A and B are shown apart, each in its own frame.
Chain A
């Protein structure tokens, strides 16, 4: 059965995206009383999620 085009590449890319999001969140969670750390994590998540929401798959896989 031939796989869909870019099946593995997209899977790997999204794994990295999810890992980056969890990394930012897990870094901030124990530091909820440090606004600088938390704000930076939220901003990082927003930037990553904005790219996912844009959905330009061909750009991701360049």
Chain B
């Protein structure tokens, strides 16, 4: 595994595969950062249950836009223009979880609980990575993602604790997002994932990260009194 630390000035000296992989992973990360607001701003900002919730939705979107900005800047510095993801239709996003639209508060809560948590897993992959400028932006981005995860987890638990219709709706949202979350880790036998690891751009295999995620979220779901969804129903990647 490649263990050197690469700065921007060294980038052009790197193997073409390294350059291509870094440009690709930054484009996907930028797409995921801006893909969140594109899922929920239109429907959830005006309809969140309280004015405080509305402000928190706006703050979450602001932070994701800033994450996009930071990643896009890194990509731009190595010659990759990722501004096309600012205007692409949701259906064309790289990752399937970002291809729809969030229309209910339950979905917004579970999105924070499950999908923003994947965002944290993706960012963790870059901790100690070989591209130093990427590693340097992580602390603040990860701190903000933690805030989104905490909010989503708290709201999901509150909705479940209400019981009745509220619990049924949040279970439905969980059933939808759980399999999308597992798919976000990609194929367990992904060749590209191995190359990312070879070049020190990622740390874990897709299967390792997915297993760790399952071990983290399943107990949280059970603690909320919700059912852990079938991990195979509707899955696209294994």
Contact = CB atoms under 8 A, between A and B. Distances in A.
Nearest to B87: A55
B55 interface: yes
Contact of B72 (A2, A10, A38, A45): A10
Interface in A2-18: 2-8, 10-11, 14-15, 17-18
Interface in A21-62: 21-22, 24-25, 28-29, 32, 35, 38-39, 41-42, 45-46, 49-50, 52-57
Contact of A52 (B37, B51, B52, B59): B37
B41 to A, nearest CB: 5
Interface residues of B, number: 36
Nearest to A35: B51
Given A28-B55, A42-B58, A57 B83 contact: yes
Interface in B188-223: none
A56 B87 contact: yes
Count chain A CB atoms within 10 A of each CB in B41, B52, B58, B88 and give the residue with the most: B58
Count chain A CB atoms within 10 A of each CB in B62, B73, B81 and give the residue with the most: B62
Nearest to B86: A55
Contact of B62 (A8, A22, A42, A55): A22
A2 B230 CA distance: 48
Contacts of A50: 41
Interface stretch (B63-71, B114-122, B155-163): B63-71
B11 A1 contact: yes
Interface of A: 1-8, 10-11, 14-15, 17-18, 21-22, 24-25, 28-29, 32, 35, 38-39, 41-42, 45-46, 49-50, 52-57
